[in-house]
Amino acid sequence: MESYLHENFGGVKSKNTTDEALQKWRKVCGVVKNPKRRFRFTANISKRYEAAAMRRTNQVINLYMYILHLERIVLTYLSI
């Protein structure tokens, strides 16, 4: 049994697993006893995409704020 799991689900690691591997694992383990307890520490795949989108928007906002800050510094330097 352990060799079967290793052959078919060797890509499922405890951390930083690809979304495809997690989806494959959850599809096979779809009918389990007490799924809320079984999967409570596994990543929520749909939330991963939302978190990645939020990180991208935050990066853009931070970059914009940094550019504004540099612009203010340059303008104050040139006005002196």
Report the b/e string of 30-56 with b at 16+ CB within 10 A: eeeeeeeeeeeeeeeeeeeeeeeeeee
Q: Which domain holds residue 22?
A: 1-43
Q: 10 with 38, same domain?
A: yes
CA distances from 67 to 30, 35, 80 (A): 48, 47, 20
Amino acid at 36: K
Q: pLDDT tens for residues 26-61?
A: 777 666 667 666 666 666 777 888 888 999 999 999
Residue, of 78 and 31, whose pLDDT is higher: 78
* Per-residue model confidence (pLDDT) at position 31: 67
Q: 20 with 38, same domain?
A: yes
Q: 36 with 1, same domain?
A: yes
- Asked whether residue 10 carries a pLDDT value surpassing 70, the answer given is no
Q: pLDDT tens for residues 62-71?
A: 999 999 999 9
